[in-house]
Structure 1
């Protein structure tokens, strides 16, 4: 049992205080998590502190009994990827190729943490931050992509970002780039040694406060660069123009989050999570208004479907003027329905005139609306749309709203079933 070292498990209380539980070397905690001693030895977790939320079922289970009902432990999968990255980052600096990627947090808004995303590898890393290319990847691979990106962070006021000019200029350069950028990052301390043992949070890599950042040759995407230097064009108009010019949605979202668009005096950083929904919402609304409404209706009932990573997506297109409804159904034992024996459902909708309030079900509503709107715009048709997602126990951890957008996009690429009536 020599591979098991003493480490700390921190249980976070709601008031921010911590209860530290010392796990003795003689307690084979890791062995109970893993199927065999050899695998446990490979994890080599002696330098990592493991946190769990107080009252979390993960604290009781620790991956050994699958008390959550999932077929495999998402926390263990994320821990393995986290440790693979940590073993390659054991100093105060890294040299790697940013995909490119940037991240803007939301905690403490308007004073947030922002900065570059850099993996500890050189080469073509573009896949690591390109959700449009993940639809055929395994859950383990997607988690690996997410956790491999190390977040260098600096504190910034979203409304006055260039008071932190030293780091902001480099971060903006990354956001404008069309290909991976060799990036050297120096930290004030080593990237985080703390892992949150929780299967219900999105996977993320280690992070550390920035001391310095240096970039290699940056080749800006000319379309985004042009928008960046146009300080008289509204962010909404820029967003649609870039989309119509073929810029991937994830790339638009990245530049949007770092405050690269809009009228000069109105520019500000937007937390990454908010920027994703803002771009999905803006593009889909404009497509609906300008390229869907007013077109002829489809003349048959169509059903498109796709199964992906434990999810089933079904999209029903019906003759009629534009309307849209999105419904999610969560099986027992899944993320948003962990403790009941019945399927939990939620959804929201809009009629021909659209919405005036934020959809109660969240960003997934707008991600799917974009996929639907762009499909109808290409067909030059309008329809009544009912889009549904069934989340089965095989979907073991949240991955982000991109999975909704890209799954529905993929479903529309496949042959549909057509009917004359319901």
Structure 2
């Protein structure tokens, strides 16, 4: 396999207002800022790896890769009625098209029981679920849709209020929905959001009594508590990330007059970004520097994750290498790389590789905060041919979390740690050095240069 070296730049004018009313801190704005002129620098033929169906950099109205993937997946769920009753995990979805008017609604299967696993990605790896299992489970969730202005989060109509109630539930909730027409069998695939199945516009929604997490209920009632502070408090109280993302997306936290519906794609990224930034600035950067070199690794769903921790002040880099023929690299002959990094003071723009950057950063800052240490952290991911379908950014967060729970292999020198690290990867070291800022800094050391020459 070859790595093409030529670069090109495509400029896309873009303005994303989805979070400006909900999270107002300057630090958060820097971390999630999408520049008006978004510049993506990627190898020719690999535009997809940076876009991931979110920016439509190719200029097409619909992602051709997603259309192709849809044709490979058979949705076996056939609905014959416009009325349905089932147990929502709970799960909700807020769309982004047409903003500030967006589609919002619950995800409900046409059966009852304990469906909590259906929207709990924190549990999917420990359950040993494969791609087929995740997709099979998620396509059973029927998505109801109702149009709403994002400001309606504060004064919702009955339908939106029912969606918010479902989102606050800590356990599966019985829900009955009346559709305007029969749900259309389909499959929604996205690199940030978990897969979803059939959908249809809603006429009416009835939600049974919900069991609300006490902390979420307090955050909902406290109109003087900023959304960022609510997120951090609930996180420290042990509320799962997926539940925080649900609540954040339906606008049930934040200051009075500033609560908004937030598209699910952006609620996921905002929660990961906010929590990891707070952990980084308030705990990690106050800790002692790591005194050794560490390597953590994990292979999940044919994704090889390698996490290197090295002595030094906080810095962080995440790089993905997508093999030919994988979900976001349709090129049949070349690897596609994407990555971003930050130094001690963090970022001033949104990471071009998208939500994966912030999901992995959360996992890393969690682990370092627990030790009260800081380090230079490099994450290398090889997305290999077996990873055919995008199943959501959760896979990065949970894979890195799981890898960091395991005992690392430790070394006393950079040369030793790199020799071991590259023995775990299939892509040659020179390719990683050519795209990595942190590895480029290490290369300036004499021993590392000699090591590369030997290789």
- Report the Cα offset of residue 284 of structure 1: 0.1
The reply on whether 1:278 has 2:270 as its aligned counterpart is yes
Residues 83-102 of structure 1: pairs in structure 2 closer than 5 A: 83=76, 85-86=77-78, 89-102=79-92
Give the Cα separation in 2 of the matches to 1:397 and 1:55.
14
Give the Cα separation in 1 of the matches to 2:406 and 2:242.
23
Task: Report the equivalent of 2:182.
Answer: 190
Task: Report the equivalent of 2:5.
Answer: none
Task: Report the equivalent of 2:327.
Answer: 335
Give the Cα separation in 2 of the matches to 1:314 and 1:347.
14
Question: Residues 322 and 173 from structure 1, CA distance in 2 versus in 1: closer, same or farther, beyond 3 angstroms?
Answer: same
Q: Which sections of structure 1, spanning at least 5 residues, go unmatched?
A: 1-52, 63-73
The reply on whether 1:123 has 2:109 as its aligned counterpart is no
Give the SS at the match of 1:243: helix
Task: Report the equivalent of 1:5.
Answer: none
Does the aligned pair in 2 maintain the 1:98–1:118 contact within 8 Å?
Answer: yes
- Report the Cα offset of residue 356 of structure 1: 1.3
Does the aligned pair in 2 maintain the 1:367–1:402 contact within 8 Å?
Answer: yes
Give the SS at the match of 1:293: helix
Which of 283, 302, 309 in structure 2 is aligned with 1:291? Answer: 283
Give the Cα separation in 1 of the matches to 2:383 and 2:189.
22
Does the aligned pair in 1 maintain the 2:84–2:178 contact within 8 Å?
Answer: yes
Give the SS at the match of 2:262: coil
Question: Residues 77 and 290 from structure 1, CA distance in 2 versus in 1: closer, same or farther, beyond 3 angstroms?
Answer: same
TM-score with structure 1 length normalisation?
0.79
Which of 383, 387, 390 in structure 2 is aligned with 1:391? Answer: 383
Task: Report the equivalent of 2:196.
Answer: 204
Task: Report the equivalent of 2:234.
Answer: 242
Does the aligned pair in 2 maintain the 1:78–1:203 contact within 8 Å?
Answer: no
| Bigger relative contact order (CA 8 A; separation at least 6) | 2
The reply on whether 1:301 has 2:293 as its aligned counterpart is yes
The superposition leaves residues 313-369 of structure 1 with CA deviations (integer Å, 9 ceiling, x where unpaired) of 000000111000000001111122212412111100000001111001111000000
Question: Residues 316 and 194 from structure 1, CA distance in 2 versus in 1: closer, same or farther, beyond 3 angstroms?
Answer: closer
Give the Cα separation in 2 of the matches to 1:76 and 1:285.
39
Give the Cα separation in 2 of the matches to 1:143 and 1:293.
39
Give the Cα separation in 2 of the matches to 1:55 and 1:104.
20
- Report the Cα offset of residue 414 of structure 1: 1.5
Question: CA-atom RMSD, angstroms?
Answer: 2.3
TM-score with structure 2 length normalisation?
0.74
- Report the Cα offset of residue 161 of structure 1: 3.7
Q: Which sections of structure 2, spanning at least 5 residues, go unmatched?
A: 1-60, 415-455
Residues 14-413 of structure 1: pairs in structure 2 closer than 5 A: 75=70, 78-79=73-74, 82-83=75-76, 85-86=77-78, 89-135=79-125, 136-161=128-153, 165-193=157-185, 203-413=195-405
Give the Cα separation in 1 of the matches to 2:404 and 2:191.
31
The superposition leaves residues 63-107 of structure 1 with CA deviations (integer Å, 9 ceiling, x where unpaired) of xxxxxxxxxxx646631xx22x22xx2101111000011110001
Give the SS at the match of 1:395: coil
Give the SS at the match of 1:213: strand
- Report the Cα offset of residue 56 of structure 1: 5.1
Question: Residues 158 and 300 from structure 1, CA distance in 2 versus in 1: closer, same or farther, beyond 3 angstroms?
Answer: same
Give the SS at the match of 1:405: helix
Does the aligned pair in 2 maintain the 1:202–1:397 contact within 8 Å?
Answer: no
The reply on whether 1:414 has 2:406 as its aligned counterpart is yes
